[in-house]
Copies of this chain bind each other. A is one copy, B any other.
Amino acid sequence: MAVRRFSRRRSERTPSLKASAAGKRKLILDAAVKVFARKGYYGCRVSDIADEAKVAYGLVYHYFKSKEDVLNSIFQERWTVFIELLRQLEKLEAPLADKLTRIAGALLDAYRLNPEMMEVVIMEIARNAKFFDKANIDLFTQAMGVIERMMAREAAEGHLRRSVPPRVAAYLFFSSIEALLTGFVVGAFTARSPGEQAHLRDQVVEVFLKGIQA
């Protein structure tokens, strides 16, 4: 119904269910994610994004300042969501194990649902950081900061080995999950079913926790 209201005033150019109006922006972002994942940021042309989104070339520049702005927008919107999740988990009264399991689960779920997105958003930022907008590094640092506070709290309760600073713990945890994603990407291991994936998730969290616990 909603669709009809939007799409039927006059004839549609293509009868596909294209999002109208403001939806175009999202259409472009989604297309960009696919294209960046497929060919890399530098390996694709802006026209690839437009083609994938089935919009005119120029429209990309209607919504974004530049190709880089498209990438930054993806980064920032995704990381903002992720940081929001972290902040909610931080508030929770629950064992660290549960929180970390949920963080890992969220990232792996996201990967299962949209692997390209995660390749672009997780695997590029930590490393290309230096070459991108400072805002991106800030978001990464913020996220690590929240995880660090979770670790610090656990440490304060005496559950962490004293030799492991919370910040190091945070980086190690995040990199563990990255390791899984890297493994998926290079085909070192797979997890087709949600069950397998949950298993892998639990392994990683367990290894990490055993590693840092007092």
Contacts and interface: CB of A to CB of B under 8 A. Distances in A.
Interface of A: 39-40, 42-43, 123-124, 126-131, 137, 140-141, 144, 161, 163-165, 167-169, 171-172, 174-176, 178-180, 182-183, 185-186, 188-189, 200, 203-204, 206-213
B171 A182 contact: yes
29 contacts: A39-B131, A40-B128, A40-B130, A43-B131, A123-B126, A123-B127, A127-B182, A130-B185, A141-B188, A161-B207, A161-B210, A163-B206, A164-B207, A168-B180, A168-B183, A171-B188, A172-B176, A172-B204, A172-B207, A175-B178, A175-B182, A176-B176, A178-B178, A207-B211, A207-B212, A208-B211, A209-B211, A210-B212, A211-B212
Contacts of A189: 165, 167-168, 171
When all copies of this chain in the complex are counted, the total is 4
Contacts of A123: 126-127
A179 B211 CA distance: 15
Contacts of A178: 175, 178
A168 B210 contact: no
Contact of A186 (B129, B131, B164, B182): B129
